[in-house]
Amino acid sequence: MTAEIITIGDEILIGQIIDSNSAWMAQQLNFIGIKVKQITSVSDSETHIIEALNAAIQRADIILMTGGLGPTNDDLTKPTLCKYFNTGLRFDETAYRDIEALFKQRGREVTPLNRMQAEVPENCKTIYNKNGTAPGMWFEEKGKIFISLPGVPFEMKSMMTESVLPWLAGKFNLPPVIHRTILTQGIGESILADKIKEWENALPADLRLAYLPSVGMVRLRLSAVGEKKKTSAEINSQIEKVLPLIDKYVFGFDDDTLQSRVGVELKKRNATLVATESCTGGYVAHLITSVPGSSAYFKGGIVSYSNEMKVDVLHVSADTLKKHGAVSEETVMEMAENAKRIFKTDYAVATSGIAGPDGGTQEKPVGTVWIAVATPDKIINRKLQLGNKRLHIIEVASQSVLHLLLKDLV
Amino acid sequence: MTAEIITIGDEILIGQIIDSNSAWMAQQLNFIGIKVKQITSVSDSETHIIEALNAAIQRADIILMTGGLGPTNDDLTKPTLCKYFNTGLRFDETAYRDIEALFKQRGREVTPLNRMQAEVPENCKTIYNKNGTAPGMWFEEKGKIFISLPGVPFEMKSMMTESVLPWLAGKFNLPPVIHRTILTQGIGESILADKIKEWENALPADLRLAYLPSVGMVRLRLSAVGEKKKTSAEINSQIEKVLPLIDKYVFGFDDDTLQSRVGVELKKRNATLVATESCTGGYVAHLITSVPGSSAYFKGGIVSYSNEMKVDVLHVSADTLKKHGAVSEETVMEMAENAKRIFKTDYAVATSGIAGPDGGTQEKPVGTVWIAVATPDKIINRKLQLGNKRLHIIEVASQSVLHLLLKDLV
């Protein structure tokens, strides 16, 4: 069973909005075993919409559209669908009551323009919209299913969840698609590929492997179609085989993040953490505190961007700073060790480096970063060399110190 | 002149990543006078890529592809283009030197897989990539222009800016499109539109206005096509008219950011800053330190995520915390005032709030945030109510406190 998503709206084609609807829809369709063949964004133009529909029915069984259902003249999806299916409009009383209720809630009268939104093509099943004025439409025509939904994300999402997805799952008895993603940090795509080459070449034909790189990370996704229990078992047995080859780099699975994994492990131990940062400038603390509930283990952070603050708050010795410099093994070790002691935590992380573009020297070029982790019984550290892009250095150094901490925790 | 964007990658079709590249590309193409007709996302499949190319050349003069250029087996764009243009590969020495340089910077040897990335189709002009291992490709075939770029956003963006956009503008002698963008913070799109309605309706027909909302901000972009000097003057005279209507919300123009503007103003005064954060968890410090050269004015930050740290480091009185709570006008004022005194800076910013999802009460629901700014001679503060999405609260609270500081500085 395959689908195509067509997003309708000039605002997408001039880059005014990023289309996040189709990624969400694709994910949801995948979960119930429907494969998305193509995502197409077209303009608010009758010709273009019809051209896209004609192309989509060559490729897919289900065509989902979003957008173009507003009350104004530039919203063309409904009249275009009437033309495409050669049908007229009917007035949907229930849809109208939804619109009335919404206006009442806002203390307003329904305008004639909004009243017209309760009109739907005669040949469609209405998909009711509790959160907005545009009802959705479900058509079974030309041996295909056509679904039209509003483009407002929260309206579309609730209509998908409450109507479209259950209707689709009920109509077709679908084999699910199973995905499992391994998350790695600190290794490039090509070196990773090299390490698992033999395993990859020996994968059974029904399993697909994808490399998904992003800043500082590579995700490895294994996918297969089939009965859930059997397919999951097959994927899991392959994961067990590959993990020992790359365990130094693996930090989690699926929706995990470094910061969420660190949180889980600290909570297990009832342990606390403090972050001291120089070159990462607060980004480590930001990652940690982006996790809901992080106040349970995160006591706080010191962004010691000046030497003064390193000495006054973190008690790094002026002698160390003078002898070895702020970006040095010695300084970062003192930052971690002292922070753990001063703030009475179980763990501390520390970063110090040169994020550039200025401040590099021959001996310590831009991108040189020292990271350290103080644990209840030791301090560990690493030196990194992270290229010369400021934000890239900040992000990768932050990930690296969280990963170094996580490796000690698991 | 029209273009079609084709994004290649299974990860888009299963919804694992949101395609933000094509919105950015569409915007840039628009700037130089090229209209995007369609955006199409296809799978890593030879048949599907070729099908999309054949459809695109029916609609557009320029076909831009992103993705599928990695070194691994699932990256099919390059072999597919060779097949489509019926050509072989040549080894590009310059591309190889880029790859070598990148590996050298990271202290690594080039792997055979990465060496192969320097191979490009014989009929293409290479688009060099200073930030990654995959070169891009420019083809002039079948009376059209085909451009293939990597999917990694920062690699793609710099190749667009440095090569593709100037090449396209040069080739087609496109009339320049002049843009000027006004940046606002702290006002919603519809209220803003209401405030400038009369000005907007009186705009000359050759000027186009776009509202570009993002988290906490709305950018207003004025564009016109035509001779640079005259068009710029016309745009600037309109900007002078609109500014007085919205000056409370305007923080800069074009590529400015709140943090870059704050930096410029602090440097002018030779003044220093410290940031103390509770609910924003390091994000304010991160924004400030994302600006190159920020160490000239930013002494550092305290992420006082626990009451203990507020008392021990920032000397907030235990009495204040007990009587008014951590999220209160009194606490945030003490945070700012004490930080300025303790760290001997000219300015201090402070945030304290409930980022959720837990911790809200009837009286102080999730999204309640207090912000404060200590200046050389006073303290100012604001209470914000920012909804219930954790990351949204963190981002908007951080922007708001920087904006409050900036308004005092200018």
Tens digits of residue pLDDT in B267-326? 999 999 999 999 999 999 999 999 999 999 999 999 999 999 999 999 999 999 999 999
**Phi and psi of B66, rounded to 5°?**
-130, 150
Neighbour count for residue B215 (Cβ, 10 Å) = 11
CA distance A71 to A314: 60
How many angstroms separate the CA atoms of A286 and A307, rounded? 22
Q: Report chain A residues whose CB lies below 8 A from the CB of B26.
A: 12-15
Tell me if chain B has a CB within 8 Å of the CB of A41: yes
Sheet containing A136-141: which strands, arranged edge to edge? A125-127, A136-141, A144-149, A62-66, A2-8, A35-42, B35-42, B2-8, B62-66, B144-149, B136-141, B125-127
A41: its two tokens: 């964004």
Rounded Cα distance between A285 and B176, Å, is: 44
Does A27 touch chain B if contact means CB atoms closer than 8 Å? yes
Tens digit of pLDDT for each residue in A195-221?
999 999 999 998 988 888 888 999 999
Residue B363 CB neighbour total at 10 angstroms: 7
Residue A102 parent element (H or E): helix A93-105
Assess B68–A contact: CB distance below 8 Å, yes or no: no
Residue type, A358: D
| Lowest-pLDDT choice from A12-16, A191-195, B130-134 | A12-16
Instruction: Give exposure, A117-126, as e/b (b: 16+ Cβ within 10 Å).
Output: bbbbbebbeb
Question: Tell me, what's the pLDDT at A71?
Answer: 79
B2-172 against B258-409: fold identical: no
Average pLDDT on B335-345 reads 98
Nearest CB neighbour to B300, from listed A36, A306, A389:
A306
Q: What's residue A107's pLDDT?
A: 75
Q: CA B106 → CA A154, A354, B13, B147, distances in Å?
A: 44, 15, 33, 29
Given a contact cutoff of 8 angstroms between Cβ atoms, the answer to whether A351 and A374 are in contact is no
Query: Three-class SS string for A141-167?
Result: ECCEEEEEECCCHHHHHHHHHHHHHHH
CATH code that applies to domain A2-171 = 3.40.980.10
Q: What span, in angstroms and rounded, lies between the C-alpha atoms of A313 and B289?
A: 19
More confident residue, B242 or B392: B242
Residue A210: what pLDDT?
A: 85
Q: How confident is the model at residue B208 (pLDDT cuts 50, 70, 90)?
A: confident
The residue written with tokens 């309708």 in the block is A8
Cβ distance B303 to A304 less than 8 Å, yes or no, reads no
**Chain-wide mean pLDDT for chain A?**
94
How far away is chain B from the Cα of A57, in angstroms, using its nearest Cα?
A: 14
Residue A35's nearest CA partner among B245, B57, B45 is B45
User: Taking CB atoms and an 8 Å limit, are B36 and A13 in contact across chains?
Assistant: yes
Q: Which residues, numbered 122 to 181 in chain A, qualify as contacts with chain B under a Cβ-Cβ cut-off of 8 Å? A: 177, 179, 181
Q: Does B284 touch chain A (CB under 8 A)?
A: yes
Of A19, A31, A96, A99, residue with least CA distance to A65: A19
Q: Residue A113 — very low, low, confident or very high, per pLDDT cuts 50/70/90?
A: confident
Identity of residue A368: T
- Mutation for A interface: B44, B72, B394, most A CBs within 10 A: B72
Residue A175 pLDDT greater than 80, yes or no: no
Q: Which CATH architecture has domain B258-409?
A: Alpha-Beta Complex (3.90)
Written out in words, the top-level CATH class of the domain with range B2-172 is alpha beta
- Domain parsing of chain A, residue ranges: 2-171, 177-253, 258-409
pLDDT of residue A11: 84
Q: Which two tokens stand for residue B247?
A: 């000056």
pLDDT at B212: 76
Counted residue by residue, chain B has a size of 410
Quick one: pLDDT at residue A22? 95
CB A250 within 8 A of CB A243: yes
pTM of the predicted protein model: 0.82
> What tokens appear for B320 in the block?
């204040």
- Closest residue in A to B41 (Cα) is A39
What is the assigned CATH class of domain A177-253? alpha beta
3-state SS assignment for residue B262: helix
Using CB atoms, which residue from A15, A208, A306 is nearest to B30?
A15
